[in-house]
Structure 1
């Protein structure tokens, strides 16, 4: 009796272990799928709100007017510690001013036109960036999965010594397991440089909270701002004495005169309407992978210097390059198309890799039909749930419950797949895969 109990306990333990493994694969699949979709982040915003005013450029005086208009619309002056002006860019030719409490699109004269309503695009970004969890937990988890992709890529190469030699050996015309395994292996090879670049940068971005917090605790007495200051620059001391709004015009004029090859695309006003306020301009450098350089100015436009993202230490320039390399925010539409193609390939690799694992268990006499059914539900459920949230955005508007709807539809799809498996009385439909190499 005790032996039977032990065997049953072991079996349940193995089932639990397999289920946990499937959850990890599911999250990895979700991250890859949403990462592919979020490449079009700016395009989604334009699609969501097509009536927002668009322009190719905006005059410094209009930027200042927009800042003053938005600050005047704040119900509580003390709630806004930062104000952000998104300048028109090729990908998103709009001027949007954001505070801690609200965001507006303004026209070419700086007049407020309409509230910003891009909740679906923001939901999609948060889903990929942190799985809709609090930032410190979600980004750490996503960063860990980035490291997992690196490990899977390297171990896949080691496990298939002929993988590069057979890079173009594709038996796709066959309708059996061999063709499916070939697709998995070939797509993995073709997308390997992309997968490594995305995974490494994703791990760096996602594990920022862990690494930054550890550095702050060990070397900076727990001061997180001091820990990142050598990379992104130090924050000026606050002086909350009331003062007139800082003037962004001389700062933008200075940029046009002294840095004509740099394109300002963000104006940040720190601690607006206080004596300690200061202006920071983020400028894009052509033919550079960095997301930009920080140019610091006083409240009247006096230039204080740069942070060093463009010409500082190697570490600074590397840190400034991870964001664009990860999200494909460089090179325009051709690069975005390439990221979408390779992102889809990576998503397929994850999906088929899990089917290979499930069928390997079956060949070893340990079939897991319920896990296979759940995986089918996951593979179909993610695009279905994303489509459901997008339809809700069109039907309900900016206030649709995107997070609840996405996870609810995804869970429902998995449950339906499990019920169909139970009601059919047979194994869930899945490709029977065997090693092809």
Structure 2
């Protein structure tokens, strides 16, 4: 993040009033702006690397359903499935697995993911339109990216608390950044990309930060509430429910049914779906959940989307025989419950179709630029003051360019070694090893090398996937095209140098 202004430049008479943080406030008179600037830089250095990973994976997570289709192109797809076929899919899966399970889930075909997936505590598989078994679900790379965003691949509870803390710190860093730059709104459209490197990066950092301010605050606040809310529910569970976390969640997400372990036939999901078809015919159904599966206490939950609402849907509760009981009240209950049900769609951009998803992708990548340029500026200013940190610069290059390169390589590992490959372990081990190697032998060309490698791997991945994956739906073709074009964009500096004619003396010396 931006550091304090360069005093020597001010003494030399260079005009930094429009280019640097803290413009308009003399550095020799430390005050509110200077203290805010110091806080902004400290927060940026503390969370920069992890925040970059969370934002990069979050920009991809917006398209998690498209990525799942892209990763597993051969799974059967359908626009609808009958209640009888869903019943058959559940019964077939439970019989095939042959093991007791507490929960069972059915992902119904939706516009984003037109596939049916049955998941239990023992595994998940795709099914055909008639409910028959097709193949195991194995979108390991997509799941790895999601867990990187949700938990930074840590255990779920502590990982979510950490990412929630990062969300809160993102809001704090944004606010301190605005307070540290009195001219930031006045110069909101002043972009000097052709200026010297430090000035152009300062403009990108400050302008993107202003333009993205509503998005950053919405993203940071919802992420903080979702992540740090785990601590609130955990404390409530310990204080009031004897450590029972499900009881703490019950006022919002519903209570777990009372256990009755007596064996019972398979739940009649077909009857519950028939009821939905008769009484709620206009509502798209996205999920069916069964709790206490195969016992007398089993309960069926059907999640139906509310297309004109921000909530992720309303939950309809049925007993094991498929008889309607009640709704959870996410659509018409207490305002706090409705707000809680709206956080996820705001955070992941799943409330306005493709335009909103594309906006979240662009904004998410722009936020990565803000994070990258912030720390890069700090390192450049240290170098300008004679305090160069080549090791820190190398570590930051590995973070900015090495981590997305490792994400692409993780996809190829999944393709080569199968869905059981330890993607998270390999990713973090390679990132740590690369960081150590870069710190031990820093090179000023490291950033360029990693960017070129990323460009090549992105373009190669899109091209090879398109050639080998077989017939693809439109979203998967778009992903392949975006990878190729993205690789070309990253390679533009090198392509531009190759296109420029060499000086005359060089052509004479090297006539070939």
TM-score, normalization by structure 1 = 0.89
Distance 1:212 1:174 in 2: 51
Match of 1:131 among 152, 155, 158: 152
| Displacement of 1:217 | 2.4
Question: Judging changes above 3 Å, is the alpha-carbon distance between structure 1 residues 201 and 273 closer, same or farther for their aligned structure 2 residues?
Answer: same
Q: What is the match of residue 72 of structure 1?
A: 95
| Displacement of 1:294 | 1.0
Q: How does 1:44-83 map to 2 (within 5 A)?
A: 44-77=67-100, 80-83=101-104
Of 394-403 and 27-36, deviating more is 394-403
Distance 2:273 2:195 in 1: 61
1:142-199 CA distance string (max 9 Å, x none): 1100000110111111111221221111111223311110011111111111111111
Match of 2:216 among 195, 215, 227: 195
- 8 Å Cα contact 1:269/1:280 also seen in 2: yes
1:191-229 CA distance string (max 9 Å, x none): 111111111111111113211111222344433222221
- Aligned with 2:394: secondary structure? helix
Match of 1:40 among 63, 80, 89: 63
Question: Judging changes above 3 Å, is the alpha-carbon distance between structure 1 residues 317 and 33 closer, same or farther for their aligned structure 2 residues?
Answer: same
1:403 aligns with 2:424: yes
| Displacement of 1:73 | 0.9
| Displacement of 1:231 | 0.9
Q: How does 1:368-383 map to 2 (within 5 A)?
A: 368-383=389-404
Of 63-72 and 229-238, deviating more is 229-238
1:385-434 CA distance string (max 9 Å, x none): 1011011122222122211221132223323432442xx6x89889xxxx
- 8 Å Cα contact 2:198/2:380 also seen in 1: no
Distance 1:427 1:302 in 2: 67
1:207 aligns with 2:228: yes
| Displacement of 1:76 | 2.0
1:109-138 CA distance string (max 9 Å, x none): 100011111111111111111011101111
Distance 2:157 2:248 in 1: 17
Distance 1:289 1:269 in 2: 25
- 8 Å Cα contact 1:384/1:410 also seen in 2: no
Distance 1:247 1:21 in 2: 53
| Displacement of 1:21 | 7.4
Match of 2:379 among 358, 364, 378: 358
Question: Judging changes above 3 Å, is the alpha-carbon distance between structure 1 residues 427 and 388 closer, same or farther for their aligned structure 2 residues?
Answer: closer
1:70-97 CA distance string (max 9 Å, x none): 01012322xx100000000000000000
Question: Judging changes above 3 Å, is the alpha-carbon distance between structure 1 residues 111 and 429 closer, same or farther for their aligned structure 2 residues?
Answer: closer
- Aligned with 1:171: secondary structure? coil
1:46-69 CA distance string (max 9 Å, x none): 111111110001000100010000
Q: What is the match of residue 194 of structure 2?
A: 173
- 8 Å Cα contact 1:22/1:371 also seen in 2: no
Distance 1:190 1:368 in 2: 31
1:342-377 CA distance string (max 9 Å, x none): 000101101111112233444555443321221112
- Aligned with 1:301: secondary structure? coil
| Displacement of 1:246 | 1.2
1:106 aligns with 2:124: no
Question: Judging changes above 3 Å, is the alpha-carbon distance between structure 1 residues 379 and 215 closer, same or farther for their aligned structure 2 residues?
Answer: same
- Aligned with 1:104: secondary structure? strand
Of 122-131 and 161-170, deviating more is 161-170
Distance 1:228 1:259 in 2: 27
- Aligned with 1:409: secondary structure? helix
Q: What is the match of residue 258 of structure 1?
A: 279
Q: Is there any run of 5+ residues in structure 2 with no aligned partner, and where?
A: 1-40, 449-512
Q: How does 1:111-122 map to 2 (within 5 A)?
A: 111-122=132-143
**Number of residue-to-residue matches in the alignment:** 408
Distance 2:445 2:94 in 1: 62
- 8 Å Cα contact 2:252/2:337 also seen in 1: yes
1:216 aligns with 2:237: yes
- 8 Å Cα contact 2:89/2:133 also seen in 1: yes
Of 249-258 and 82-91, deviating more is 249-258
1:92 aligns with 2:113: yes
TM-score, normalization by structure 2 = 0.76
- Aligned with 1:388: secondary structure? helix
- 8 Å Cα contact 1:377/1:415 also seen in 2: no
- 8 Å Cα contact 1:19/1:371 also seen in 2: no
Distance 2:152 2:314 in 1: 29
Q: Is there any run of 5+ residues in structure 1 with no aligned partner, and where?
A: 1-17, 431-437
- 8 Å Cα contact 2:398/2:447 also seen in 1: no
- 8 Å Cα contact 1:146/1:200 also seen in 2: yes
- 8 Å Cα contact 2:391/2:440 also seen in 1: no
